Amino acid sequence: MRTVETIAVVFGIVAVWLNARQNVLGWATGLVNVGLYSFIFFKGQLYALMALQIFFFAISVYGWYQWLRGGERHTGVVVTRTPRPIAIAVVIGSVVGTAALGWALGRYTADQQPYLDAGLSVVSMAGQWMMARKYLETWWIWVGVNVVSVPFFLFRGEYPTAFQYAVFLGLAVSGLVQWRRSLAAPA
């Protein structure tokens, strides 16, 4: 299992590194990462995080398309700020989604950490969708997810995954800086 986890970590780090640099190949390498993590989370009885990988697969295809052909002129999306109504919807949806999914996981599964699993999953879905749309604030979401994920996976003894999220934290800060520059650059 450690070998699979290590390979998944490498693909995950490469995917986020490429996404931070607005390189569309980040979506392709992310597909390998989510496939491997689907297996890892199933074995670890983290069902929301496992299901999240299915969402990540779909959003990776969507993001790949958006970055290449999205936008009004079908030439790809550019970095923008999140519109206020979308930001409010993301916050409300994340809170309600976490509560509902956490309750369901706690009641109907053997999930080891139902509310934490749900929160990481729901907030990550919002962050990944925002990344596909190239909303700058996605990187703040990823900073938060990574700050929580590092100790979570350390506690579970999943050291390669904890390491991955520690690297993701640095990449999220880097992505925020780079995307801010891109936003400020003249078109």
- Tally the domains of the chain: 1
* Local structure of 23: helix, strand or coil: coil
- β-strand partners of 80: 135
The pLDDT, as a whole number, for residue 90 is 98
The pLDDT, as a whole number, for residue 187 is 60
Q: Which residues of the chain have pLDDT under 70?
A: 1, 187
pLDDT in tens, 56-79: 999 999 999 999 998 888 889 999
pLDDT in tens, 108-123: 988 888 999 899 989 9
Domain region containing 142: 2-184
Contact assessment for residue 157 and residue 173, using Cβ atoms and an 8 Å cutoff = no
Tell me how far apart the alpha carbons of residues 67 and 11 are, in angstroms, rounded to a whole number: 19
Q: Where are the alpha helices (DSSP H) in 21-73?
A: 25-43, 47-69
Tell me how far apart the alpha carbons of residues 116 and 151 are, in angstroms, rounded to a whole number: 12
